[in-house]
Structure 1
Amino acid sequence: MRVASLLPLAATATAATAATSGCTTLQQSLSDEVFAPSTDVYKYEAQDFWSNTEIMSPGCVFRPQSAAQLGEGVKALVDANAQFAVRGGGHMGIRGSNNIDNGVLIVMSNLTTLVLSEDESIVSVGPGYRWADVYSYLESYGLAAAGGRLGPVGVPGLLLAGGVNFYGNQVGFGCDTVVNYEVVLANGTVVEANRNSHSDLFWALKGGSSNFGLVTRFDMETIESTKVWAGTYTVAGEYVEQFLKAAATYAANISDAKTHIVPAVVPEGNTTVGSVILFYDSATESYPEIFKPFTDIPAISSTLGFKTLSEFATETGALVTPHINDIFVAGTIKATDYTSLYNGIALINNTFFNQLPKLTAQIPSANISLIELDWQPIGHSWLTASESRGGNALGLDSNQIYLCYAEVVEWIGEAYDDIVDAWLQETTEMINNATKKAGLFDAFNYMGDAAGWQDIFGGYGEKNLERLRTVAKEYDPNGVLQKDGLMKGGFKVFN
C-alpha cells in the first residue's frame, strides 16, 4: 500500500469535515437561513450565477436577512474555523471567486435595502440587487446612479472593484459616489464607514474589494437623468481602421463630460466589425459633435435613440449570454496624445486578432458564443471628478490618459476551458510585451474585467498597496479574508 495514494482522500475528507462543521455550526443558531443541498433554496442559489464557470458544489447555503444576522453567521464560522465564500450578484466569471466546493456559500440575495433619502440625493442599495433593479427603481424619480453598464451586473462586485459607469466623466468611478458603507467585519461586528467614521476603511473599499469586510449597504449619490441618448452603432469590417482612429480621437480629447463610449472589435463570420456603445446624458440632444468620428462612418446597424437608463441597461445586458463559459482579461495602456493612443490601440488589436486563428482552430465555431476586444478611455475629466470626491484606491494619475481594454471570450462546453485559458494567457503576454516595448504599458488591470490569474493590486502602485494592506491588518488582523484565511475567492491584497 502506498501512503501517497491516500493523500487526495485525506484532503477530501478534511474539506468535507470543514463543510460539515460550518453548516452544522450555522444550523445551531441560524437554522432558518441555512439550506442543505436537498432544498429548493439551495438548488436555486447554487445555480444563480451569470457564468457556468462559477458553478461549484457548496456544502450548504447561508442566506442572511440582515447585516446583524450576517455578522452572527460570520463570527460563528470563524469560531468554528470553517471555510466560506460570498456571492453578491454572481457576475464575476472566475471559478472560485464567489463560490466554493464543500464549504458554506453565503449569498446576499435577501439583503435588499433600496430606498431614497428624503431629499432624494442618496440612494441606499443592498448587495442583493443587480443594477437593472436599481435603475428601474430610480427611473420613476427621474434619477440614475453611477452603476453597471449592463443590467445583469451585481451591485457589490462593481462598486468594490471601482465601478466603470456611463457617468464616469461627470462623477468618476462608481465607488467615488459612495458616501457610506455598512460593513460586517471578520469578527462579526457591523460598522459604518464614511469620511468621518472609519475613514481608512472607507477609502480602502473604493477599489479594494472584499479584503476588509462584507458590505451590506451602499449609500451612493443619485444623478438627475430622466432620459439619455444612447445605443450601439456598428460599422463594417472595411471601416475598422477608421473606427479605431475614432476611438483614439475621442480618448485624446474627451471635451464633453456627458459622454461615454465603449468601442469594440468583434469577429463576425469571415470578417470583423466595429461596434461602439455611445452614451450621451441628455434627454433632448442627439448626435453630439464629439461622436462624429464614429457616426460619420456608415453604419450597418444602429440602436441610437432616446431612452431611459433602465431601458438602455436592459439593451446592453442582452449583448452578453448568461449560463455559458467565459473569461475576461484586463489590460491598460497610457499616453497623453492621439498618436500614441492610436498606435497602442492598433498594436493591441493586431496582436489579438493575429493570434485568433490559434484559438478558432481548436474550438468548433458552433461552440464560440462571443470573441471581443473592447476599450474604455479614462482621462482627465473622469479622474479629476474622482479626486473632487476624495479619491479612491486605484492609483490612477489625472495627468495621464488611460485606455483600459478587455479581451473577452465566451464559449459553450467546459471541454474547451483549458484551451481558452491557455490561449488568453499567451495572447495577453504577447500584448503586454508589445506595449512595454512601445513604452505604452501600464500595470493597472481593472478588477471588473480581470482574469483570476492577473495581478490587480500591484497595478494600484506600491504606496496604495501598502496602505490597503495596513487597513486589512487593522480590520482583519487574523487574515480571515485573505488568501490563506477562511473566506475563499476574490482578489487579495496579501497574495
Structure 2
Amino acid sequence: MGPSSALTAILDIAGIAADARAAAEKHLVAFDILNEGEKQVTRLATIKEVFPLVCGDFAVVEGSAKFEDLKRSPWSSNCCLSPATIVTPSTAEQVSLILLLIRFLGAKFSIRGGGHLQIPGFNSNDGGVVISMSRFTQCTLSEDKKLVDVGLGLTWLDVYRALDPFGLAVTGGRVPSVGVPGLLLGGGLSFQNSEHGLSCMGVVNYEVVLADGKIVQANPKENSDLFWALKGGCTNFGVVTKVEMAAVSNKIWAEVRLYQTSQNGELLEAMMLYHEASEKDNKATLIWHSVSQGTLLVFFYCAPVETPSVFECFYSIPFLVNIVPPGLNTVYGVVQGLKDVLSADVGQHELRTMSSLPDLDMYKATEACRLEQIEALKDVEGVILTMVLQPISSSVITASSAKGGNPLGLPAQQHQWFLVMVDYKHAADEVRVRKSAREIVDTAVKISKRNGTYLPFIYSNYASQDQDPLASYGPENLLKLRSIAEKYDIDAVFQKLQNGGWLVSKGQTQVNFA
C-alpha cells in the first residue's frame, strides 16, 4: 500500500535525504494501516523512530543526554514528565512540519516556552511530543526603533537586557525567570500596566502556526479575531512563533524595600491610600510580596520623576533595607535587582489566586491566615509561602480597551489580583501545601464576598489546577473564544491532542489533564 497524500506532503515538506525519507515512510505507512487499538499500542515507538528521521537534529528522544537536560527544564519539578521526544524548532516552517506529523500520528503534545508553570501536563507529557521554543532567542529592534521582535524562547530578563542599551523596554513580565509566551498568552502583568494596559496589549502582531500547518499573521488588520483571542486566550488556537511588541520608554524611577512583618498592619493601611492615589496617576505600579522573613514592596513609576507623590503613603514607614535603592533606573535595572530575591529555583510549586476590589478587612484576614499557615507548614522542608497583592487601577482596563481589548472581561474599576505561592521540596508534601494555599485564598474569597468586594476573575497564569480561569472571563467571552478556536482549528487538534492547558473545550469543568 502506498503512502497517503498527507504522508507524502509531510515528507515533501521535510526535505530530508533519500535514505531518511525511505525509512520514515516505511514506519509511517506501517502505522497508517493499523486500526485504532493497534495505533495506541505502537504510537510511542513510532514517535521515537520517526521524529529524528523527519526532524533531524532538532528532535531528541528519550535516553540521550540532551533529552534529559530538556526534560528537566521546567521550573516546577513536578512538571518534569517523560515525553517520547522533545523537538526544538527554530522556524515557523519547522513548527508546521511538527504539527502535521503530530496530527498524522495522533500524538499528544505540549508546548513549552519558559516552562514557568506549576501544573503537571501543561508544558510536558508522558509518551508524547513536547514542542520547546528554546531556540527562538531573537530580540530584534526595528530600524525605526518602534517595534521589537521578541523571541519565544527568552525570559523577560533576557529581553530587558537586550533592549537596555537602546534605552527601551516592552510591556513584559516582572519576574526575571518567567518566559515570554506564557505570560503574554495569559494576558500578563507588566510594570507599565496603568499606562499601557496589560502586557499582551503591547503586542502588535503574532505569527501563528495553525493545526493544519498554515502559517498566518494575527494583528488588527489580518485575522483580527485571532489577534483578540491570543491576548489572554492561552494555547487554544495554534503555536505562536513570533511576537512583535511596541517599544516603550525605559526611563523610570523605582525603589524596592524590605519591611519587617510586624509592620504589615500599617503597610496595609497605606495600601488602601495607594489604591485611591493610583486612580489619579496612570504611571504608578506597586507589588506587595509577603514571605516569612518580611514584606517586599516594589515601587515603580513610568517616568524619570524622583520620589513620586503617589507612593507618599509608604515613605514614612520604617523599613529594613533597600533591595533596589530609590532613584532613576531602567526596567532591566529593576528586574536584575530582583533576580536573586524572586526565587527561580527548580522545585515543587503551588499557586492559587482570586481577585477583589480594594478591601482592608480582607487584606488583614488573609495576612492573619498567612501567618497561621506558615506555622502549619513549618516542618515542610524547603517551604517558602509567599502572598502577593497587586493593585490594578481602572486605567489598566481603560488603556487595554483603547488598544482593542482582550477576552479577560475585566471591568474598568480599581481592584487587585491576589496570589498565594508555596515553594517546597518534596512531592510527598503536596496535599498539605495545597490545603494551606487553599485556606488562605478561601479566606480572601469568604471575606470579600461578605463585604461585597469579591470579583470572579481568575488570572490564568496564577491559577491552581482545580480553578477555571477561562470561565471567569464570562460566558460571552468564553463562547467567543470557543468560536474562534473552532474557526482556526476545525478538527479541534489543540483541544483533543494537546495534553493540558487552559483549553476552551474544558471551560467550567477544568481539571488537571496530566
- TM-score, reference length from structure 1: 0.90
CA distance in 1, matches of 2:40, 2:310: 56
Q: Name the counterpart of 2:21.
A: none
Provide the residue aligned with 2:387 in structure 1: 373
Measured after TM superposition, the shift of residue 486 of structure 1 is 0.8
What code does the residue aligned with 1:308 have? Answer: T
Q: How many residues get paired? A: 466
Deviates more, 1:134-143 or 1:297-306: 297-306
SS at match of 2:228: helix
The aligned counterpart of 2:331 is: 309
Contact 2:366–2:443, Cα closer than 8 Å, also in 1: no
Q: 1:16 deviation in Å?
A: 6.9
Task: Note if contact 2:51-2:85 (Cα within 8 Å) is conserved in structure 1.
Answer: no
- The residue identity in structure 1 corresponding to 2:382 is N
Alignment of 1:80 onto 2:105: yes
Hey, what's the Cα distance between the residues in 2 that align with 1:312 and 1:352?
A: 27
Cross-structure match for 2:228: 203
**Aligned residue type for 1:367:** G
Q: Which runs of 4+ in 1 moved over 6 A?
A: 13-16
Q: CA RMSD in A?
A: 2.0
Aligned to 1:325: 348
Native 8 Å contact 2:108 2:129 kept in 1? yes
Distance 2:203 2:138 in 1: 15
Distance 2:490 2:438 in 1: 34
Code of the residue aligned with 2:330 in structure 1: it is T
State whether residues 234 and 299 of structure 1, in contact with CA within 8 Å, keep that contact through their aligned partners in structure 2.
yes
Query: 253, 256, 260: which is aligned to 2:277?
Result: 253
Paired residue secondary structure (2:377)? helix
How big is the shift at 1:19? 2.7
1:391 maps to which residue? 405
Distance in 2 of aligned mates of 1:18 and 1:103: 9
Q: Is the 8 A contact 2:171 2:199 kept in 1?
A: yes
Q: Which stretch shifts more, 48-57 or 74-83?
A: 48-57
CA distance in 2, matches of 1:45, 1:416: 26
Pairs within 5 Å for 1:124-139:
124-139=149-164
Change (3 A) 1:41 1:416: same
Give 1:15 shift: 6.9
User: Paired residue for 1:275?
Assistant: 296
Aligned-residue identity in percent: 31
Deviation at 1:409, TM superposition (A): 0.7
Match of 2:486 among 473, 487, 491: 473
Q: Contact 2:156–2:179 at 8 Å: present in 1 too?
A: yes
Alignment partner, residue 64 of structure 2: 39
Q: Is the 8 A contact 1:229 1:304 kept in 2?
A: no
Report if aligned partners of 2:352, 2:437 keep a CA contact under 8 Å in 1. yes
Amino acid at match of 2:78: T
Give the CA deviation at 1:14. 8.1
Is 1:439 aligned to 2:452, yes or no? yes
User: Which residue number corresponds to residue 294 of structure 1?
Assistant: 314
Distance of 1:279 and 1:359 partners within structure 2: 33
The answer as to whether partners of 1:26 and 1:77 remain within 8 angstroms in 2 is no
State the 1:37 CA deviation: 2.2
* Unaligned residue ranges in structure 1 (runs of 5+): 1-12, 336-340
**1:452 corresponds to:** 465
Does the 8 A contact of 2:253 with 2:300 survive in 1?
Answer: yes
Q: Counterpart of 2:429?
A: 416
Deviations 1:368-399 (A, max 9, x none): 1x21111111122111111111111111111x
CA distance in 1, matches of 2:137, 2:49: 26
Question: Displacement of 1:405 after TM fit?
Answer: 0.7
Corresponding residue of 1:90: 115
Corresponding position of 1:346:
364
Say which SS state the counterpart of residue 253 (structure 1) adopts.
helix
CA offset at residue 355 of structure 1? Answer: 4.3
Q: Which amino acid aligns with 1:388?
A: A
Specify the alignment match of 1:425 in structure 2: 438
1:141-290, aligned counterparts within 5 Å? 141-226=166-251, 228-254=252-278, 255-268=280-293, 273-283=294-304, 285-290=305-310
Structure 2 vs 1, CA of residues 224 and 321 (structure 1 numbering), >3 Å: closer, same or farther? closer
Aligned counterparts, 1:349-368, within 5 A: 349-360=367-378, 363-364=379-380, 366-368=381-383
The residue that corresponds to 1:382 in the other structure is 396
**Secondary structure of 1:304's match?**
strand
Render the CA deviation track for 1:106-148: whole Å, top value 9, x for unaligned. Answer: 1011123321122111101121111111111111111011001
Question: Which whole-Å CA distance do the structure 2 matches of 1:245 and 1:282 have between them?
Answer: 26
What is the CA-CA distance between 1:53 and the residue it aligns to? 2.4
Partner of 2:89: 64
Match of 2:165 among 128, 136, 140: 140
In structure 2, C-alpha distance between the alignment counterparts of 1:355 and 1:35, rounded to whole Å: 43
8 Å Cα contact 1:352-1:431 kept in structure 2: no
> Are residues 192 and 251 of structure 1, via their aligned partners in 2, closer, same or farther at CA, if it must alter by over 3 Å?
same
Alpha-carbon distance in 2 for matches of 1:289, 1:427: 32
For 1:249, the aligned partner's letter is: L
Farther-moved stretch of structure 1 (52-61 vs 21-30): 21-30
| Distance in 1 between residues matched to 2:243 and 2:463, nearest whole Å | 23
Rounded to whole Å, the distance in 2 between the matches of 1:352 and 1:493 is 33
Q: Which runs of 5+ in 2 are unaligned?
A: 1-37, 507-514
Distance 1:246 1:169 in 2: 19
Kept after mapping to 2: 8 A contact 1:88/1:157: yes
Q: Quote the residue 2:418 is aligned against.
A: 405
Of stretches 15-24 and 158-167 in structure 1, the one that deviates more from structure 2 is 15-24
2:366–2:441 CA contact under 8 A, matched in 1: no
